[in-house]
């Protein structure tokens, strides 16, 4: 399997889950770039130092033997992958399957399948699959099946030198069979692509280069892989800007790719023109993801392909670490500041549904959907969302926050409150009177006491976070997850528990509590006052 490690929250969860819950996984190739002067090797070391990997280290201390580092970068031509690494991923040839095997070596394999009670036809098919034109004729398979049925144990010719004819070769057979299977597994069969720049309003040329061109190159690389069984692309549930009800299907492209690049040449750095060009899409991030989805749907060819659309990704719901998360992207920032009392006014309504999805649900869905990718020639789309099947609104979230604050007694800002407004003017007035003015007064009081002011700085940052998230608080989205639930319900009971991704299984009061605890424990926010 090949996994691209980029800027997207949740890739660590996916890697841990694969290595822990899929023990038959042979190799995991991690495409990773240098970041801010930190080498790819150092980033990998830091990745596995995460507390998230504690249970994996305990259950399988040698798990790193399965991990192969591939330095690269989504923003570079050919993904910044070296020619030798590219050949490893594509794996055009391997030494074992290229060489001609001696007759005695084929006999070892025939005996192995005989001892496993495989039929002659099945044995011939398996050897053909691995060795093609160099495989023995079926007459040889039949001959040796007859010999073994009559009690023969040796695979050597009688006229060969000195050693005894009757020699047990079961151990050799096991070794040869393992070699064949290992050789087969060397070919990458699943590609998981979640790397992206997740800044909502990245300059359009940057977002196109990383989020679109990076995706196009990953798909093209996958198409050249000899044993590809699934290409899993992690998009976003907000890619389809005008769709207030998001269903699990592909949508038309928001623009022609050539028109986008023509626009970039003429107006690419004019923010006002960019806003007009991307239309109803929330920022260049969502626009590039929408363009990528449509491109994949049209150009995936014979590669079995899955698109995963998560909504606002929040902390881990189940194991190995409840409440775990590792960055401030998504809803974490606004939830933190609302919980602290630094956000007191919000554009929207208390009964507006907000769509959250736990990060482990996204990971689990990505894994099980890849196993079903070959069931259709068309791109299969699965939404990792909650709003249609298990909705939660802002009133419920805020009520839980207040309960926790009351129990803990840790109110950083006095008189905790949250007011909803339905207009831009109302938001501006409420912000001025309920947030900025009290912060200025509090800072003046600190100055009079000879202390450094800090309230206005905190509130100003909280307002910036709130404004960045306004699109999600002021709009109502309904995101269907019927296919996701159907896929999950088709699993065995054991696998349903191991790869939980059914949104109806989220118990919001308990989960929201764990999520807030995770923000404080794992993100380690600075002290507010």
Note whether 179 and 260 are same-domain residues. no
What pLDDT sits at residue 75?
87
pLDDT in tens, 386-424: 999 999 999 999 988 888 775 555 556 766 789 999 999
303, 323, 349 - which closes a domain? 303
Lowest mean pLDDT among 103-112, 310-319, 332-341, 416-425: 103-112
Q: Tell me, yes or no, whether 142 and 9 share the same domain.
A: no
According to DSSP H, which parts of 132-192 are helical?
138-149, 170-185
Specify the long-range contacts of residues 441-446, CB closer than 8 Å, at least 24 apart.
none
Domain of 50: which CATH number? Answer: 3.40.50.720
pLDDT of 356 higher than 60: yes
Give me the mean pLDDT over the 499-510 stretch.
96
The last residue of a domain, from among 250, 277, 303: 303
Give kind and range of the element (H or E) at residue 461: helix 455-468
Tokens 């923000």 -> residue: 519
Among 128, 154, 184, which residue terminates a domain? 184
| Whether residue 86 is found in the same domain as residue 146 | no
Any domain includes 50: yes
User: Do residue 286 and residue 193 come from a single domain?
Assistant: yes
The pair phi, psi for residue 70, each rounded to 5°, is: -125, 100
The domain total for the chain is: 2
Query: Could you tell me if 249 and 102 lie in one domain?
Result: no
Q: How many percent of the chain have pLDDT more than 90?
A: 50
pLDDT digits (tens, 9 = 90+) for 141-198: 898 899 888 888 777 655 444 443 433 445 555 555 555 555 444 467 899 998 888 7
Q: Are 66 and 27 in contact (CB under 8 A)?
A: yes
| 493 domain-assigned | no
Same domain, 161 and 192: no
What are the tens digits of pLDDT across the range 251-309?
A: 999 999 999 999 999 987 888 999 999 998 889 999 999 999 999 999 999 999 999 99
Q: Give the Cα-Cα-Cα angle 7, 8, 14 (nearest 5 degrees).
A: 125
Question: What is the arithmetic mean of pLDDT over 53-75?
Answer: 90
pLDDT of residue 161: 43
Do 258 and 200 lie in one domain? The reply is yes
User: Is there a domain that residue 382 lies in?
Assistant: no
Tell whether 18 and 62 lie within a shared domain. yes
pLDDT at 342 > cutoff 80? yes
The answer to whether residue 443 sits within a structural domain is no
Compute the distance between CA of residue 221 and CA of residue 377 in angstroms, rounded to an integer: 19
pLDDT computed for residue 400 by the predictor = 87
> Which of 171, 165, 134, 141 lies closest to 152 in space, CA to CA?
165
Q: What is the DSSP string of 226-246?
A: TT--EEEEE--TTSSTT-SEE
| 46 and 117 part of one domain | no
* Domain presence at residue 489: no
Strand, coil or helix: 69: strand
For 307, phi and psi rounded to 5 degrees? -115, 125
Residue 479 belongs to a domain? no
Residue 154, Cβ neighbours under 10 Å: how many?
A: 18
Q: Are residues 112 and 127 in the same domain?
A: yes
Instruction: Give the structural domain span for 108.
Output: 95-184
Do 162 and 108 belong together in one domain? yes
Per-residue tokens: 415: 């008189």
Residue 243, in any domain of the structure:
yes
pTM of the model: 0.80
- In this predicted structure, which of 38-42, 228-232, 358-362 has the lowest mean pLDDT? 38-42
What's the start-to-end Cα distance of the chain, in Å? 47
pLDDT over 90 (residue 524): no
CA–CA separation, 132 and 125 (whole Å): 10
Torsion angle (degrees, nearest 10) of CA 496, 51, 1, 358:
40
Check whether residue 191 and residue 180 sit in a common domain: no
Helix axes 332-340, 455-468, angle to 10 degrees: 140
In a domain, 509, yes or no: no
């Amino acid at each position: 399997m090949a996994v691209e490690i980029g800027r997207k929250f949740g890739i660590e969860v996916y890697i841990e889950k694969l290595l822990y819950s899929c023990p038959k996984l042979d190799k995991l190739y991690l495409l990773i770039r240098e970041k801010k002067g930190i080498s790819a090797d150092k980033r990998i070391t830091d990745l596995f130092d995460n507390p998230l990997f504690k249970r994996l280290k305990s259950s399988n201390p040698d798990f790193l033997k399965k991990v192969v580092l591939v330095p690269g970068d989504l923003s570079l031509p050919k993904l910044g992958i070296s020619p030798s690494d590219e050949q490893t991923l594509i794996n055009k040839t391997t030494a074992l399957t290229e060489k001609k095997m001696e007759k005695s070596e084929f006999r070892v394999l025939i005996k192995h399948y005989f001892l496993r009670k495989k039929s002659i036809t099945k044995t011939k098919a398996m050897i053909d699959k691995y060795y093609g034109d160099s495989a023995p004729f079926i007459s040889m398979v039949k001959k040796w099946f007859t010999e073994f049925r009559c009690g023969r144990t040796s695979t050597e010719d009688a006229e060969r030198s000195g050693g005894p004819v009757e020699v047990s070769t079961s151990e050799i057979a096991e070794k040869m069979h393992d070699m064949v299977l290992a050789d087969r597994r060397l070919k990458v069969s699943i590609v998981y692509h979640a790397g992206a720049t997740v800044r909502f309003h990245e300059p359009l040329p940057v977002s196109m280069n990383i989020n679109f061109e990076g995706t196009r190159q990953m798909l093209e690389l996958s198409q050249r892989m000899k044993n590809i069984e699934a290409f899993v692309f992690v998009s976003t549930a907000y890619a389809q800007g005008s769709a207030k009800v998001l269903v699990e299907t592909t949508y038309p492209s928001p623009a022609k790719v050539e028109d986008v690049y023509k626009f970039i040449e003429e107006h690419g750095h004019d923010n006002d023109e960019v806003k007009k060009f991307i239309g109803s899409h929330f920022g260049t991030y969502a626009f590039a993801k929408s363009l990528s989805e449509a491109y994949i749907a049209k150009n995936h060819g014979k590669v079995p392909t899955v698109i995963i659309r998560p909504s606002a990704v929040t902390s881990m719901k189940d194991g190995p670490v409840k409440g775990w998360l590792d960055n401030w992207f998504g809803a974490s920032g606004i939830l933190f500041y609302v919980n602290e009392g630094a956000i007191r006014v919000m554009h929207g309504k208390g009964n507006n549904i907000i769509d959250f999805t736990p990060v482990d649900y996204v990971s689990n869905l990505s894994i099980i959907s890849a196993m079903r990718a070959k069931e259709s020639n068309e791109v299969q789309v699965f939404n990792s969302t909650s709003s249609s099947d298990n909705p939660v609104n802002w009133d419920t979230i805020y009520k839980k926050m207040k309960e926790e604050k009351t129990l803990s007694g840790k109110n950083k800002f006095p008189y905790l409150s949250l007011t909803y407004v339905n207009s831009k003017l109302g938001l501006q007035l409420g912000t001025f009177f309920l947030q900025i003015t009290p912060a200025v007064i509090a800072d003046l009081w600190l100055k009079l006491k000879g202390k450094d002011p800090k309230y206005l700085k905190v509130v100003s940052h909280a307002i910036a976070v709130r404004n960045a998230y306004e699109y999600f608080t002021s709009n109502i989205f309904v995101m269907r997850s019927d296919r996701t639930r159907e896929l999950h319900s088709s699993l065995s009971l054991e696998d349903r528990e191991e790869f939980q991704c059914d949104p109806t299984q989220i118990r919001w009061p308990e989960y929201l509590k764990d999520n807030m605890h995770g923000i404080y424990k794992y993100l380690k926010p600075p002290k507010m006052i």
